[in-house]
Amino acid sequence: MKKQSVEKKKKAGKDFQTPYTLTNAVVKGNVITKLSLLIMGLGNICHKQIVKGLMFLAIEVGYIFFMIKSGIYNLSMLPSLGTQEQVEVWNEKKGIYEYTAGDNSLLILLYGVATIFLTIAFIIAWKESVKSSYKAEVLAKEGKHLNTFNEDIKSLFDQNLHKLLLSLPLTGVLAFTVLPLVFMITMAFTNYSKQDDHLVLFDWVGLTNFKKVLNMQDAIGQTFWSVLGWTIIWAIFATFLNYIFGMILAIVINRKETHAKGFWRFCFILSIAVPQFVSLLIMRTMLNESGAVNVLLKNAGIINKSLPFWTDATWARVTVIVINLWVGIPYTMMQVTGILKNIPAELYEAAKIDGATPVQTFFKITLPYMLFVTTPYLITTFTGNINNFNVIFLLSGGNPTPVGKTAGKTDLLVTWLYKLTVDKQFYNLGAVIGIMTFIVLAIVALVTYRNSGSYKDEEGFQ
C-alpha cells in the first residue's frame, strides 16, 4: 500500500510539473500553440493574456521590420565586408573634386555582428513566447489560474525579483562587454590596419594574422615572443615579491613587541591615498638623467655620471619592479593583516615549544595558511599585473631600446597592444595580441586555481 501511494504521488508530481519546453509545445500543443511558432504571442492572446501576447507580437514585428530595413543587408555584406571603394569624381558645376560614398568595412562588420546578436536575442524571445503559449494552454486545460499582466508585474518584485534586478546589468554586459569583445575577435581575422591603407575597405584573411604573430621568423612574431617573455617575468616578480614583502611587513607590524601599530600602518597606507598616476609621474621625473636622484648623488660625489634608470634595459626593468613594490606592498599588507589574526595562536605556541625558529614558523605555519586563503587573491593580482598598463606606461613608456619597430624593452603585452592600435593603427594585430593575452591568462588562472588548496579543500585548512 505504501509503495502504491508513493508511486501515485510520483506520477501526480510528474503530471503537475509539466515541462513547458519547446519540444512539448511542438509535439503536444494544440493548433493555437503551434501557430504561435509563426505568430508570437498568439496563444497568450487567445487565453486572455492580452498585454503579454501583444508584447511578444511587438517583438516579432519589430525584428521583422529591422531585418527588412537593414538586417538582411547587414548579414549579406558580412562575407565580403564591402567591395565598393571611395572614388574621386570631378563636379563641373562646383568646380571641385568630390568623393562618392563607398563601403565602410568597419561599419559593415560592426552592424553584422550586432545583427547576429539581435537575431540570437530574438530566437530566445521566440522560444519563450512558444513556451508561454504552451503553458497557458496546459493551465487552461487543467482549470488552473493564469496570471494577468498585473500579477506578472507584481511577481517581478517578489519571487521573480532576481529577473528584474539582473536584467539591466545583463543587458549592459552584453552591449558593452560581450558585443565589443566578439567584434574585436572577428577583427583578428581581417587585414584591418594602416598597412597597405586597409582602414576603410578590408577583407577576411583567416588565420594569417595569428601565423604572423606566432612566427619566430617574422619581425612581429619575434617582438611578440620577446614581449611575452618579459610580461611573464614581470608578472611573477611583481606578484610574488609584493605578496612576500607585504606579508612580512604585516607580520612585523602585528608583532606584540611592535609599538604604535596604527602609526606604522598609516605611514604605508598613505601611499594608497595619493592617486597612483601622480606618484608614478613624480617617480619618473625624479629618476630622469637630470632628475632629483641623479642630481643629489652627483652633488654628494657618489656618482660621476647619471644612472641610466630609463635608458638601459636592465636598469629600467629593475626600476619598474622596485617602484611597483613601493606601490603594491601596502595593498598586500592590508589584505593579509586580518588573515594573520585568524591563524590559531596555539600553532605558534606549539612551534615555540618544539624549538622552531621564526623562519621555520613562517614557512611551516604562516605561509601555508596564507596561501590556502589567498590563492584567489594571488591569481587576481597576477592577472592584474599582466595587464598593468599604468605602472609601465607612466614610468618608462615601454622604453628603452626598441624591440623590433613597435615595442620597447619594458613593454608588456597590454602596452604593446596600445602602441599597435593607437600609435601604429595595426588593429588586426592588436586584436590577435588581445586574444593571445586572454589565452595566457585563462590557462594560468584555471590551472593554478584547480591545483590549489582553496579549490581542492573548500571546507577548511588542516
Q: Are 418 and 330 in contact (CB under 8 A)?
A: no
Give the per-residue pLDDT at 91.
72
Give the per-residue pLDDT at 9.
45
- Which residues, 6+ apart, have CB-to-CB distance to 386 below 8 Å? 231, 235, 412, 413, 414, 437, 440, 441
Residue 105 to residues 42, 79, 193, 428, Cα–Cα distance (Å): 40, 11, 12, 13
Give the per-residue pLDDT at 341.
81
Give the per-residue pLDDT at 161.
92
Which among 336, 337, 332, 327 is positioned nearest to 270, based on CA atoms?
327
| CA dihedral of 408, 410, 415, 416, whole degrees rounded to 10 | 40
If you average pLDDT over residues 274-290, what whole number do you get?
92
Higher pLDDT, 301 or 17: 301
Which among 415, 413, 445 is positioned nearest to 432, based on CA atoms?
413
Give the per-residue pLDDT at 362.
87
DSSP 54-100: HHHHHHHHHHHHHIIIIIHHHHHHTTTT------EEEETTTTEEEE-
Q: Are 70 and 168 in contact (CB under 8 A)?
A: no
Give the per-residue pLDDT at 12.
45
Give the per-residue pLDDT at 358.
85
Can you tell me the distance from the alpha carbon of 331 to that of 337, in angstroms, rounded to the nearest whole number? 10
CATH class of 208-456: mainly alpha
Can you tell me the distance from the alpha carbon of 201 to that of 186, in angstroms, rounded to the nearest whole number? 15
Q: What is the pLDDT of residues 66-118, one digit of tens each?
A: 999 999 999 999 999 998 887 767 677 776 766 667 899 999 999 999 999 99
Domain borders along the chain are 17-155, 208-456
Give the per-residue pLDDT at 426.
93
Q: What is the pLDDT of residues 137-187, one digit of tens each?
A: 999 998 898 888 899 999 999 999 998 999 999 999 999 999 999 999 999
CA count, 13 A, side-chain hemisphere, 113: 17
Q: For the chain, give the percent of residues with pLDDT over 70.
A: 92
Can you tell me the distance from the alpha carbon of 354 to that of 122, in angstroms, rounded to the nearest whole number? 69
Query: Residue 106 carries which side chain, given as an amino acid letter?
Result: L
Give the per-residue pLDDT at 1.
44
Give the per-residue pLDDT at 169.
95
Give the per-residue pLDDT at 6.
46
Give the per-residue pLDDT at 99.
65
pLDDT category at 13 given cuts 50, 70, 90 is: very low
Lowest mean pLDDT: which of 18-22, 141-145, 246-250? 18-22
Can you tell me the distance from the alpha carbon of 74 to that of 113, in angstroms, rounded to the nearest whole number? 9
Can you tell me the distance from the alpha carbon of 235 to that of 247, in angstroms, rounded to the nearest whole number? 18
DSSP 191-234: --BTGGGBTSS--B-TTHHHHHHH-TTSHHHHHHHHHHHHHHHH
Q: 190 by DSSP, 3-state: which?
A: strand
Q: For the chain, give the percent of residues with pLDDT over 90.
A: 63
When the pLDDT of each residue in the chain is averaged and rounded to a whole number, the result is: 89
Q: Cell numbers for 245, please give them.
A: 614583502
Q: What is the pLDDT of residues 403-448, one digit of tens each?
A: 778 899 999 999 999 999 998 899 999 999 999 999 888 888 888 8
Lowest mean pLDDT: which of 2-6, 207-211, 434-438, 454-458? 2-6
Can you tell me the distance from the alpha carbon of 131 to that of 66, in angstroms, rounded to the nearest whole number? 24
Can you tell me the distance from the alpha carbon of 246 to that of 337, in angstroms, rounded to the nearest whole number? 9
Can you tell me the distance from the alpha carbon of 462 to that of 369, in angstroms, rounded to the nearest whole number? 9
If you average pLDDT over residues 226-249, what whole number do you get?
94
Q: What is the pLDDT of residues 106-147, one digit of tens each?
A: 999 999 999 999 999 999 999 999 999 999 999 999 889 888
> How many CB atoms within 10 Å of residue 288?
15
Q: Are 231 and 412 in contact (CB under 8 A)?
A: yes
The DSSP element (H or E) to which 281 belongs, if any, is helix 276-286
Chain centroid to Cα 112, Å, comes to 23
Residue 179 to residues 28, 184, 207, 224, 356, Cα–Cα distance (Å): 37, 9, 21, 26, 57
Give the per-residue pLDDT at 220.
92
Can you tell me the distance from the alpha carbon of 209 to that of 221, in angstroms, rounded to the nearest whole number? 10
Q: What is the pLDDT of residues 307-346, one digit of tens each?
A: 999 999 999 999 999 999 988 999 899 888 888 888 888 8
Give the per-residue pLDDT at 18.
57
Higher pLDDT, 357 or 100: 357
pTM, whole model, 2 decimals? 0.83
**Is the pLDDT score of 3 beyond 70?**
no
pLDDT category at 200 given cuts 50, 70, 90 is: confident
The number of residues making up the chain comes to: 462
Can you tell me the distance from the alpha carbon of 419 to that of 323, in angstroms, rounded to the nearest whole number? 23
Q: Are 214 and 224 in contact (CB under 8 A)?
A: yes
